[in-house]
Amino acid sequence: MAKAKSILKVVLPLLLGVGLVWYSLSKISIPTLVQYFKNADYSWIILGITFGILSHISRAYRWLFMAEPLGFKPKFGNSLMAVYSAYLINFTIPRAGEVARATILKNYEDVPFDKGFGTIVAERIADTLMLLAIITVAFILEFEFIFNFFAEKFNATSLFLGGSVLALGALMLILFIKKSKSKFALKVKGFLFGLLEGALSIFKMKKKWAFIGHTLFIWAMYVLMFYVTTFALPELQNITLTAVLIGFILSSFSIAATNGGIGSFPEAIVIAFSLFGIADDPSRAFGWIVWSTQTLVIIIIGGLSLLYLPIYNRKKTIL
């Protein structure tokens, strides 16, 4: 049973990704997509790639602050190559990259696997909080747009009833999780306590402000990478900040849906941009341009990292 469950965790995201690639390419002809790639302004795409690389460099450097309290002083080169290797491996097996990254740090920096993996989980908690912050900012900045959008789709009574049902459901869920001893409730409580503990642990670090600064920089680079690439297509020149933020948020979630966002990334962009009346073809083309260029960089640097790691550490005996 456990083996079948493990296989499904690997196979299902791959099948979903392949299915979404087929669906996406069935909605736009290959010649049309190729034409968008040909007509794109690659100066903006290169700038977006640069922002993406800077975010990964910052991520690798940020991890050094987490290793220091554990008594380790890893090389920045190993941390950077571990980050890129992890991203590359995530394209094969979902979330296997985090395990691979901890393994690389164990092999080349003698960081115990459990401690290394724990710091990576703490990093993910910080990143989750940043994504939640971006969602909150988007909601606050564009509350009127979001409210009007739902008001057009549903009447006031429906909105009130729907909001009341959601609020009541949320309250019941909170009470259930608080009092229940079921596996689901315990898992949710464990996740929430872990989220809180991870967030609070950041403020206990010696270089907490440097860590927070790098976290803000990483996510600023993510958003800028997404934003500047919109200038590569003439059809997206006048895109609003709201559309950019909503597109960024949905595409971020899409990466978790399939291996590295394959297939799901462009379709998430289409869903987001369609809310703002942007045509499907340029939206889908933009999604493929961002995903394919960023993925190509990860494949190249990640592949070189895996090859160069043993050479970079050739004087070290691997146990």
Over residues 226-259, the pLDDT tens digits come to 999 999 999 998 898 888 999 999 999 888 788 8
Query: How buried is residue 30: exposed, middle or buried, by Cβ count under 10 Å (0-12/13-18/19+)?
Result: exposed
124 touches 59 (CB < 8 A): no
Over residues 305-317, the pLDDT tens digits come to 999 999 998 876 5
pLDDT in the model for residue 121: 81
pLDDT in the model for residue 287: 95
Residue 201 has phi, psi (to 5 degrees) of -65, -25
Question: Using CA atoms, how far apart are residues 281 and 198, in angstroms rounded to an integer?
Answer: 41
pTM of the model: 0.81
280 touches 69 (CB < 8 A): no
Quote the mean pLDDT of the chain. 83
Question: Using CA atoms, how far apart are residues 89 and 87, in angstroms rounded to an integer?
Answer: 6
What 3-state DSSP class applies to 71? coil
- Angle at 245 (CA atoms; ends 51, 276), nearest 5 degrees: 130
Instruction: Name the pLDDT band for 4 (thresholds 50, 70, 90).
Output: low
Over residues 291-304, the pLDDT tens digits come to 999 999 999 999 99
| Closest listed residue to residue 301, CA positions, set 12, 18, 50 | 50
